[in-house]
A and B are shown apart, each in its own frame.
Chain A
């Protein structure tokens, strides 16, 4: 039997650039804003199709986000595309004040987030982005798991007035969602049902969670796998159901263990239905290695996630 781990993998940036081009054809208000990141955001074709509508401010992230807020003031819908590490760290105050607090219709697209830049090291890793942005009021934080969800989240963002942050992964992922999948912010998707233990995940780790559940099923442990594409707002009802109906919750994500999806789930269960948890993520500045190697190292290989889930299931 072949599982999800054997499925072909796709770079979500391709879905991103295709969707952005489609949106730009459909709506003249759509513009791209970049910090010299035309190539790394794969926006060369977009630039050729819409030369006036790809605004490159150069290597200047604070300006980039402020400019996006000003473009939104003028009625445009800017999609800011920049490496997530620089977008969210360098321009965090602009994201807070100019976009979120000002309630500007800006879409912030964090390219190659998490540990996508693996061997380039922690300066280029963006494991903190989710925790930082989740702490800011009035911004939706989306971590799509595959190309279908990336495109669906972008279409939703373009059609919805208000600040949105979307992670766009570079590390290849299998297709999990069917074409036609509808992205609903704040809604978890049960991608595999089960009643023994729950794994909540998103982004590049979701397929690993599914592969873990496949392994556990061979041991007669039936794990529920919840896809949580929006970390903010969180589907708290789905979390509470998991806390009530299963032995515990494992969260697994390509992000810091301090305050990202794991933190959001933990805050929810401690205040409404305390549950046993394992929070898998990246607890430190990671050593040298590819993103895949590092995810495995931090317990997020399919086997590693299965181990964490099994421990919760067996302890109940």
Chain B
């Protein structure tokens, strides 16, 4: 069972405004490494979770919270904060660990992950967890919500930005494409959709299931400015996610090429790790690989 003894996560202060690119990247990289170790501990000891998708998304999460989003534990309710919406709500373990790493919730609270009556459900609940913007879990919900928020910012003539992270298999839900049409129609250029393009869904590859390619052309045809990045390269993520919008009047679609289970040798790009739980030996090896 998960207990306080399994909490090893340090917290990461916000970098000063004048911090340089190299310093920011190092900060993100160390945060991502520690978040991975802690998340593996959570999933192992809780006996459940979605570790494959967690590990695929953590570099994006660490980059956003570590150096991109204008939101802090102090401004978590500020009307003009940047919004991040985790559409792939099943990687809640990665989100909670990231929020704890950056001070949005007490690190010790992670010990309650999936425990009876915990605020840290298998999918995030904004009414119980500071920093969560929407109760996601059913797929295809985050992008419409993000479009609505970006519309509110436009109505307010606010500079606040909206970021939403979706899975790639998740894009099989038609609601995403409804929302993309609306984002383009309303010229929501402060909206950024990030696709965790790990090419695997629950039971098989996206290609074997209901293929998305050519995803870049599809997003462009829906009116987005499309950028492709290595979703595990903190420098590339930082540069792209900080620089949006790339074209005035157009929302941005970032295809973040990732691997489920990254960078653990026996998990990476292995569909079995969608929601498999590492045993004690696998946990030890995974943490060694991260050390």
Contact = CB atoms under 8 A, between A and B. Distances in A.
Interface of A: 31, 52-53, 55, 57-58, 60, 62-63, 65-76, 78, 93-94, 97-98, 101-103
Contacts of B140: 62
Contacts of B151: 55, 67, 70-71, 74
Given A63-B181, A71-B149, A98-B135, 20 more contacts: A53-B155, A55-B151, A57-B182, A58-B181, A66-B175, A67-B145, A67-B148, A69-B145, A70-B150, A71-B151, A72-B148, A74-B83, A74-B152, A75-B156, A93-B141, A97-B137, A98-B144, A101-B135, A102-B135, A103-B126
A78 B156 CA distance: 14
A289 to B, nearest CB: 34
Contact of A63 (B79, B127, B135, B179): B179
B138 A63 contact: no
A73 B179 contact: no
A35 to B, nearest CB: 10
A75 B152 contact: yes
A52 B153 CA distance: 12
8 contacts: A58-B182, A67-B179, A71-B149, A73-B133, A93-B141, A97-B141, A98-B135, A101-B125
B143 interface: yes
The residue in A60, A67, A75, A102 that gathers the most chain B C-beta atoms within 10 A of its C-beta is A67
A176 B134 CA distance: 40
Instruction: Summarize B's interface: helix, strand, loop or mixed.
Output: helix
B182 A75 contact: no
A67 B151 CA distance: 8
Interface residues of B, number: 35
B149 A73 contact: yes
A67 B182 contact: yes
B141 A98 contact: yes
Contacts of B156: 74-75
The residue in B125, B146, B151, B162 that gathers the most chain A C-beta atoms within 10 A of its C-beta is B151
A70 B135 contact: no
Contact of A103 (B83, B127, B147): B127
Contact of B178 (A55, A57, A68): A57
Contacts of B56: none
Nearest to A62: B175
A93 B174 CA distance: 13
A73 B134 contact: yes
B136 interface: yes
A57 B181 CA distance: 9
B175 A63 contact: yes
Contacts, number: 110
B40 to A, nearest CB: 28
Contacts of B141: 66, 93-94, 97-98
The residue in A53, A93, A98, A103 that gathers the most chain B C-beta atoms within 10 A of its C-beta is A98
Given A60-B178, A71-B148, A101-B135, A76 B155 contact: yes
Contacts of B148: 66-74, 78
Q: Closest 9 CB pairs between A and B?
A: A70-B148, A74-B152, A66-B144, A67-B148, A63-B178, A60-B178, A70-B149, A62-B175, A70-B145
The residue in B144, B149, B186 that gathers the most chain A C-beta atoms within 10 A of its C-beta is B144
Contacts of A65: 144
Contacts of A70: 134, 144-152, 162
Contacts of B144: 62-63, 65-67, 69-70, 94, 98
A63 B83 CA distance: 18
A62 B138 contact: no
Contact of A97 (B136, B150, B185): B136
Interface string B161-190: 010000000000011001101100110000
A66 B138 contact: no
A47 B39 CA distance: 49
Contacts of A68: 148
A98 B146 CA distance: 11
Contacts of A55: 151, 186
A102 B126 contact: yes
Given A69-B134, A97-B138, A101-B135, A63 B182 contact: yes
Contacts of A78: 148
B179 A66 contact: yes
Nearest to B134: A102
Contacts of B135: 97-98, 101-102
A65 to B, nearest CB: 8
A304 B78 CA distance: 57
Contact of A102 (B127, B149, B174, B178): B127
Nearest to B142: A66
A62 B152 contact: no
Interface in B63-92: 79, 83
A63 B147 contact: yes
A234 to B, nearest CB: 24
A101 B143 CA distance: 17
Contacts of B125: 101
Nearest to B150: A70
